A and B are shown apart, each in its own frame.
Chain A
Amino acid sequence: MIRAYRTPIVLGVIALLVLVLFGLIGSDGDSTFRISTSGDFFTVPDLVLPSRGTALVLGVVLLVLAAGAALLVRRGRRVPVWLLAVFGVLAVLGTLSWAIAGGTLPMTQLLQGSLALAVPLVFGALGGVLSERVGVVNIAIEGQLLAGAFSSAVVASLTGNLYLGLVAAAVAGALVSLVLAVFAITYIVDQVIVGVVLNVLVVGLTSFLHSAVLDSASNSPGRLPQIEIPLLAQIPLLGPLLFEQTLIIYLMFIAVAIVTFALFRTRWGLRLRAVGEHPQAADTVGINVARTRFMGVTLGGALAGLGGAFFTLGSVGAFSQEMTAGQGYIALAALIFGRWNPVLATLAALLFGFARNLASVLGIVGSPVPSQFLLMLPYVVTLIAVAGLAGKVRGPAAAGTPYIKG
């Protein structure tokens, strides 16, 4: 009985928290959201809101949404994803208006930074989706990202061509996942073990080569130029965010669209998913299970590797040891939180990037929320998701199980 109402209850508790903590006993003062930047088409004035009043209004709206969710459950319907999304955005806004009371929050920078932090997560999660949808658990996303970061820096430096660096990143990611595929599919080694070991191996190899071989000539690739799309780039807020970015970020948007379309709208995608859900059945209708799995895992690795290039070519412009710093595991979290769906996983990755960027922005604004708790967010929400406290999360049925033809 209570189980069915879990989602509305969780929503209600959050709504009450916003209402009471940030509204009733919140802080006085105005919260300023800066929306425009100097290069914009037209200027949108700063949004100045009284902190406590905003939280009060938002808290009430959140309560209404939670009540709506309860009503839907009572009628035997599921709580739709859009309701959860709207709820999430409003809850974040309520928290923000409290956290920055008396200060100014530059929205464009906040969202731009969030997107940048989310790029490797999106690629990593997409790569994970492809791999796990064909039935191979991919713990090695971290290793694929790191391999991509390393080889993109080296190849771009040695050839002087940044775009060859991108290709090299995809190849490196694909190679790492090929090792995963060979061990998991051909030698039927446990996929989690191979994934964990591959991560250690890639850290070891890249760190070793970084100290022993790389010098300033082979590790100074530079950064990808920003490509500005005329006119569109001058829209306030959205322009700098979506239309004034490097090639990798445009590739990311394209990749999300292609993976989603290919998985759910093509015969190829149907085969991929069939192999991940029920390999015996797929085999019976003539699908080559091993080959399909190899393809899915390797393609996924190539995508993750491409994401790794963002660490070097897309942001700092040089490789350093262990520069992925656990982002692969956050990508894994995004993949699970996004229920193995490319679009939802992308949204989860964006949310996680936002949380991480918020941690550093609020640190500058000077807010009462310790940054460590914002950094913890991806892991906590994923934990809640897999523990089924807010709706059941289910992965591909055959993920983790080798298929032995026989």
Chain B
Amino acid sequence: MSAVVPPVEERDRRDGRVSAVVREIMSGSIVLSLAAILLSFVIGGILIAASDEDVQETSGYFFARPGDMLGAIAEAVGGAYGALLRGAVFNPRGDSLGEMLGPISETLVYATPLVAAGLGVAVAFRAGLFNIGGTGQIVAGAAFAGWVGFAVDLPPVLHVVVALIAGIVGAAFWAGIVGILKARTGAHEVILTIMLNYIALRLFDYLLTTPVLQQPGTVNPISPPVSVDAMFPSIVGRLHWGFVAMLLAVVAIWWLFAKSNLGFKIRAVGLSPSAARTAGINVGLIYVVTFAIAGGLMGIAGSAQILGTERTLTGGIAGSIGFDAITVALLGRSKPFGVLAAGILFGALRAGSRTMQASEGVPVDIVLVVQSFIVLFLAAPPLVRAIFRLPAPGSRATAILSRSKGAKA
């Protein structure tokens, strides 16, 4: 059996790094997060202004009449971010209250897979693992859920439940491969997940051209529509019961880490695999279980896609959710309710960007820019502290704060 145990010293060498990453992700204040978000929106605003034609025109005579250019900037940026809010939160131009509040439900529709997938990244982070395999796991989950949805005949309520479970199990299985390979061979999960993403995508492309998934009578790579029984029923408008499934997942993950024995073991492995091994925890098994749980959450995201909004499987079913999930988990500090908040924020950006593009002509891609700046700033607290002149942790002010906290406890 000695063949399956990776060299201990190689794992322990990474210990320091893993625990540092876990600490870095878990620590950090809300102030810092808000500062990072604000800063990123400012950068987004600069880009919007710089690419605006009126601003470019008025910049030609800036020194003669600076007011013109400032006005044009205010109009471009204000218009864009106003449209973003209109598409994501509240639409004052709506005819009824329902129409005015419609954007919120749209935000939650986008947030549903983002939060579920963000949890899938967050759970892995807690064990000191990177799950970059969201794309592949979401594809696996969507394929299984979709297949049950159109190929199996079941009574109404049962059908959607079975389809969801199939999605969760399918994705957990796909992610479990990563855990097994890592536990048995010591291969780095980042490489494994990236490779498995593309393998899943190609396999899925192939299955979409075979009778397994392809719609009969078409040559296009597209599946038959999921039967109505297997679709998540609507709560209001486009918002579906997948949202509730996602909320349940948030609570379940909170329970996992706050109350359960397994969650404790996962955290122990995340902080120091060697210490956890010394304490008698089967680290390899925890890797497998963690990846299976992470995959299951990705499966909820994939199911929300196919059973909630898309209804037919196509090559692009996973979109960029797998990668967005990484930013969601980082912004949410890998804590369940933090991920929920971060996912809703990014869902709002997604929903609002459609309105922004339609009414102001600002390309939706600006959201990617804002999103990645948020994470870059979050990842480098010293940079944000320097920009906003915030005190560093461990400096005098925070030391006093933490001491008084310690005294109370």
- B199: Cβ under 8 A from any A Cβ: yes
Complex contact A197–B379 (CB within 8 A): yes
Complex contact B191–A382 (CB within 8 A): yes
How far is it, in angstroms, between the C-alpha of A189 and the C-alpha of B330 when the chains are bound? 12
Q: Please, which residues of chain B bring their CB within 8 A of the CB of A208?
A: 47, 51, 363, 365-366, 368-369
Q: With A193-B379, A194-B376, A387-B187 given, is the CB distance from A200 to B323 under 8 Å?
A: yes
Complex contact A207–B192 (CB within 8 A): no
Complex contact A376–B203 (CB within 8 A): yes
Q: Please, which residues of chain B bring their CB within 8 A of the CB of A200?
A: 320, 323-324, 327, 368, 371-372
Contact check: which of B17, B372, B380 meets A198 at CB < 8 Å? B372
Complex contact A332–B379 (CB within 8 A): no
- Tell me the residues in window 318-370 of chain B with beta carbons closer than 8 Å to chain A beta carbons: 320, 323-324, 326-327, 330, 362-363, 365-369
How far is it, in angstroms, between the C-alpha of A200 and the C-alpha of B47 when the chains are bound? 16
Q: Please, which residues of chain A bring their CB within 8 A of the CB of B326?
A: 193, 196-197
- B239: Cβ under 8 A from any A Cβ: no
How far is it, in angstroms, between the C-alpha of A336 and the C-alpha of B196 when the chains are bound? 15
Q: Please, which residues of chain B bring their CB within 8 A of the CB of A270?
A: none
Contact check: which of A193, A376, A388 meets B198 at CB < 8 Å? A376
Q: Please, which residues of chain B bring their CB within 8 A of the CB of A183?
A: 376, 379-380
Q: With A204-B369, A326-B198, A376-B199 given, is the CB distance from A187 to B47 under 8 Å?
A: no
Q: Please, which residues of chain B bring their CB within 8 A of the CB of A370?
A: 206, 209
- A257: Cβ under 8 A from any B Cβ: no
Complex contact B209–A211 (CB within 8 A): no
Complex contact A388–B185 (CB within 8 A): yes
- B82: Cβ under 8 A from any A Cβ: no
Contact check: which of A196, A333, A376 meets B202 at CB < 8 Å? A376
Digitize B43-56: 1 where CB-to-A-CB distance is under 8 Å, 0 elsewhere: 00001000100000
- Tell me the residues in window 149-197 of chain A with beta carbons closer than 8 Å to chain B beta carbons: 183, 187, 189-190, 192-194, 196-197
Complex contact A201–B363 (CB within 8 A): no
Of A204, A332, A400, the most chain B CB neighbours within 10 A belong to: A204
- B144: Cβ under 8 A from any A Cβ: no
Q: Please, which residues of chain B bring their CB within 8 A of the CB of A213?
A: 51
- Tell me the residues in window 196-234 of chain A with beta carbons closer than 8 Å to chain B beta carbons: 196-201, 203-205, 207-209, 211-213
Contact check: which of A205, A372, A400 meets B205 at CB < 8 Å? A372
Number of A-B contacts (CB under 8 A): 142
- B195: Cβ under 8 A from any A Cβ: yes
Q: Please, which residues of chain A bring their CB within 8 A of the CB of B256?
A: none
- A373: Cβ under 8 A from any B Cβ: yes
- B132: Cβ under 8 A from any A Cβ: yes
Contact residues on B (Cβ < 8 Å of other chain), bracket: 35 or more
- A329: Cβ under 8 A from any B Cβ: yes
Contact check: which of A194, A203, A207 meets B379 at CB < 8 Å? A194
Closest chain A residue, CB of each to CB of B47: A208
Could you tell me the distance in whole angstroms from the C-beta of A146 to the nearest C-beta in chain B?
Answer: 12
Closest chain A residue, CB of each to CB of B372: A201
- B21: Cβ under 8 A from any A Cβ: yes
Complex contact B203–A372 (CB within 8 A): yes
- B181: Cβ under 8 A from any A Cβ: yes
Q: Please, which residues of chain A bring their CB within 8 A of the CB of B320?
A: 200
Of A192, A194, A326, A378, the most chain B CB neighbours within 10 A belong to: A192
Complex contact B367–A197 (CB within 8 A): no
Complex contact A189–B187 (CB within 8 A): no
Digitize B8-31: 1 where CB-to-A-CB distance is under 8 Å, 0 elsewhere: 000001101100010010000000
Pairs A–B under 8 Å by Cβ, sample size 29: A187-B380, A189-B24, A189-B380, A190-B379, A192-B130, A193-B326, A193-B330, A197-B379, A198-B372, A200-B371, A201-B373, A208-B51, A208-B363, A208-B366, A211-B363, A212-B51, A370-B206, A370-B209, A373-B206, A376-B203, A379-B196, A379-B198, A379-B202, A382-B191, A382-B195, A383-B196, A386-B187, A397-B13, A400-B14
Which 5 residue pairs of A and B lie closest in terms of their CB atoms, listed nearest first? A204-B368, A201-B372, A211-B363, A207-B365, A372-B206
Residues of A within 8 A of B (CB): 2-3, 137, 139, 183, 187, 189-190, 192-194, 196-201, 203-205, 207-209, 211-213, 321, 326, 329, 332-333, 336, 370, 372-373, 375-376, 378-380, 382-383, 386-389, 397, 400-402
